[in-house]
Structure 1
């Protein structure tokens, strides 16, 4: 994920091609695709598009029809990121035509383009078209052509699930993600992928108020990532934060505090104290300490966050006023009684209710938990 260094190395490679390679070589085209991938990850979509167009021209010159179609998909992705949806549709449809004629109507490559179109139509508000393309892709994965790997099917199901999740059909998304896990669970080297899927399942359970099932999914993901040595990544820190929130909803406040503390240490190291994910964990940890009656610890964190925003991030963010008001309230109460009792959790949560993300955030507003 060191994109600046990757870009520097790729520039050197392209310079070597410019001096020593024949014009429009396949090798240069491959490296331009790599550069486009790097630039897209950095958010430099216009420059990424330039490299993809040059790569496509080289592939056309060399008669590489399927590679041109694959680049058209990447070009469509860039257009979609730029909000140029008509051009994105045109690129995807070009690729679709080639894949259908060269690979067959039921090839996974065709399904992958259907998923891209489904995502695009969701973003443009055409939900009927979006679901139709999802169904077309599903038909292919339900009856895969010979040679299709289980990993390919699982990846496709996971991508379709993301679209269903976007169109607010979490139950359909959950079914697809659970199918994907079953396809991968006996495959070597797939534990991190399964952990990522379990984390997504956990988030969906959380959003529909099924907190016990959310916690179980998060625990599975965390266990797999710890076992694989991925315990210091930013993703792992975010996952611990989500798991902590599930514990809060289940009144496991001590466990939540431990998870938020570990998440804070990881995100401070990986993202820095000013990153939005780190700030969210600070807020959640302060709220947990408040719930546990550890008022001094809560005040210490909030004072740090308020100072951080004032000195480095600015005060325009709406969270700043919330944090400042919470800090003032805690200081006022601390002045009255250093040994005050923590706010009653029973007054803050209704364990029998199922609430939306917006309602959940509002419900915990008194303590300031951040989803």
Structure 2
């Protein structure tokens, strides 16, 4: 059949709540024994298609003709419904009714009429086959935009269809390409509101996930699993059409995934917050002074933090702290944990003094409750990390050293006990098993020692004691090499990186370059060619080549770092913007003025967008841009960039600028941690959420 010269117009009419309820009754009549099990697809094939076969029309057209009462159920739609065809039809329809009931008290809203595909669009394949990708793309945009409100109906996936290794089954619509495309369209259109209707079973599952030991992983894994490439469609041609529509819209699958994830992230945050509100009964102050409430606030705060909602996480961890104090008092292990959690989120927000205060209180509790054991060592590490970030290096060094001493003593004690146990074991099999256990135990303690040694080395380096910093990083390397880490372990790569920067601080740039190249080799073997921590090391290498006056290699390294940051963090991330700024200065020093102007112009635009025109970084970059433009116009040697922000002074070689570049690279490297420290409570300098400019600026 040839394509029609004028494709049909998608009606914007929908069905009222009464019409939805009537259709639910018809489903029960048609499927008396299985009404609650049949899918939307089965209902469409059994009821909708036969009833519209004669006119080859949409179901709403049949409703208009059946009776005056049913005709009144069809009016201009106020809500576009996005749902999965594999979901149970009664679940979808019941959620529409619940949604409408919850909106009933909002008098300012018009009566609800749902645009649901099985009602509002013809379900006859011979009609759909004539429609082009262009038609579908524009029609979805026009329909969603014309209605102005989208309802994403989140239903659980059937147990048999959940093959992905997730902590909980992925909500079914998040596995369907049509739903992802519809949400993407809704997010991208101005003045379109996206609401969610959540199946009770899914909500209860999510609540249980919040209270689980893997709460943060559950939610981040669910978001990471959203992929339009992996999503399914009933018809293969629909998947091809959606992929074509994405391309024709000037988008990519990665962009679709990112925007849908952000929309679902907002739903997750709202859902988690609702679990806390359920326990906060108005007028019942006692409800917020229970262990159960403290646990919910703590777990919800952990999820909020993992999803980057640091302000909400701070509020919840404060509630957890107050509830915990009400239950167990100020001097208790649980209170210490609450202070630690609060310190972590303050640290991530860049509120370092608040983090120091929380970590100090946690340490005092730990000393009383645990004595000089590993919990106290962790508390020393936490406080030292925050003190280091606050620039109080001497105090940080003392606490790192105390943590190191406790970990060393604990390792020696555990090793001795392990050896005594092995001597008592009789059988060869028992000895072999004991030996394996001893190796695991040693590696556990060695990991803590390496982490603390590297952190101590960084503090020494910032305190101007580069020789002691080098000694710490070398000790860490010795532990790694004699232990059970491979030469290409990311921890070894990170330690080489730190050691290289310590030699750079000492002025031995040649040695620094060699060590940073070793770091690159180890990191590539561990992470592949594309990873933010590899970009950090390229940025550090660029600083070294800049110090050597090798601007060609400096530029090449910055360009490589910039490509990787764009791939891993995105164009809008502050680390990407800062690296682009330094790349511009390298271009200027090499006399490549136009490239410098182009790069710095983009940087200024990013700073203006995210920081505002009056921010120091913005004004400094603008001053430097004007200076480079003048130098380019004269076609002479470029003067070093001028202005504030550690970029050097006019007439000098910009050594301060080199230090500023190196510091920025260390900050960004710390945010990735070079793969060596995974424990959240330890933290490091410069740990901001990706794209969080406010926290990033506070760490500079």
Query: What are the within-5 Å matches in structure 2 for residues 259-274 of structure 1?
Result: 259-274=557-572
Are 1:108 and 2:374 an aligned pair? yes
Q: 1:133 aligns with which of 392, 395, 399?
A: 399
CA distance in 2, matches of 1:305, 1:170: 33
- Further displaced range: 288-297 or 259-268: 288-297
1:94 to 360, 365, 371: 365
Question: Residues 327 and 286 of structure 1: is their aligned pair in 2 closer, same or farther, counting only changes over 3 Å?
Answer: same
Q: Distance in 1 between matches of 2:322 and 2:384?
A: 27
After the TM superposition, which of the residue ranges 140-149 and 210-219 deviates more from structure 2?
140-149
> What is the deviation of 1:153?
1.9
Alignment of 1:32-71 (within 5 A): 32=300, 34-35=302-303, 37-38=305-306, 42=310, 46-53=314-321, 56=324, 60=328, 66=333, 68-71=335-338
Contact 2:454 2:472 in 1 (8 A): yes
Kept after mapping to 2: 8 A contact 1:199/1:239: yes
Residue equivalent to 1:170: 466
Judge conservation of contact 2:604–2:621 (CA < 8 Å) in 1.
Answer: no
Quick one: distance in 1 between partners of 2:312 and 2:352?
10
Q: Distance in 2 between the 1:286 and 1:126 partners? A: 33
Cα distance, 1:155–1:368 mapped onto 2, change above 3 Å:
closer
Work out whether residues 115 and 134 of structure 1, in 8 Å CA contact, stay in contact via their aligned partners in 2: yes
2:688 maps to none
2:353 aligned with 1:83: yes
Query: d(CA) in 1 for partners of 2:361 and 2:656?
Result: 49
Conserved? CA contact 1:7–1:39, under 8 Å: no
* 1:327 alignment partner in structure 2: 629
1:72 to 339, 345, 348: 339
Larger radius of gyration: 2
Is 2:475 aligned against 1:179? Answer: yes
Q: Number of residues paired by the alignment? A: 344
SS of the counterpart of 1:232?
coil
Query: Structure 1 residue aligned with 2:503, among 173, 186, 205?
Result: 205
SS of residue matched to 2:484: coil
Distance between the aligned counterparts of 1:277 and 1:291, measured in 2?
A: 21
What's the TM-score, normalizing by structure 2? 0.41
Q: Distance in 1 between matches of 2:459 and 2:299?
A: 31
Q: Please state if 1:161 is matched with 2:457.
A: yes
Distance 2:383 2:358 in 1: 12
**Which stretch of the first structure deviates more once superposed, 244-253 or 9-18?**
9-18
In 2, distance between residues paired with 1:278 and 1:266? Answer: 9
The question of whether the paired residues in 1 share the 8 Å contact of 2:450 and 2:476 is answered with yes
Find the counterpart in structure 2 of residue 246 from structure 1.
544
Q: By percentage of residues, which structure has more helix?
A: 1
**Number of the residue aligned with 1:337:** none
User: Structure 2: where are the runs of 5+ without partners?
Assistant: 1-219, 224-260, 280-286, 415-440, 662-700
By how many angstroms is 1:212 displaced?
Answer: 1.4
In the alignment, is the contact (CA less than 8 A) between 2:493 and 2:518 conserved in 1? Answer: yes
> Shift in Å at residue 94 of structure 1?
0.9
How far apart are the structure 1 equivalents of 2:406 and 2:325? 31
Q: Deviation at 1:246?
A: 0.8
Distance 2:507 2:318 in 1: 45
Q: Is the Cα contact below 8 Å between 1:138 and 1:157 reproduced in 2?
A: yes
Match among 524, 535, 538 for residue 237 of structure 1: 535
Distance 1:109 1:157, change over 3 A: farther
Alpha-carbon separation, structure 2, partners of 1:97 and 1:7 = 41
Shift of 1:15: 5.2
Given the alignment, which residue of 535, 557, 575 partners 1:277? 575
Q: Is the 8 A contact 1:141 1:157 kept in 2?
A: no
Alpha-carbon distance in 2 for matches of 1:187, 1:55: 43
Relative distance call for 1:182 and 1:53 in structure 2 (3 A) is same
Measured against aligned partners, the alpha-carbon deviations of 1:43-84 in whole angstroms (never above 9, x if no partner) come to 6563253254268469959xxx65554333334445673624
**1:330 Cα shift?**
0.8
Q: 1:76·1:88 contact (CA, 8 Å) conserved in 2?
A: yes
Partner of 2:448: 152
Is the 1:241–1:263 Cα contact (8 Å) retained in structure 2?
yes
* Structure 1 residue 327, shift from structure 2 partner: 1.8
- Aligned to 2:527, the other structure's residue is in SS state coil
Change (3 A) 1:52 1:288: same
Distance 2:454 2:311 in 1: 24
Work out the CA distance in 1 between the residues paired with 2:497 and 2:277: 45
Whole-Å Cα distance in 2 between the matches of residues 368 and 156 of structure 1? Answer: 30
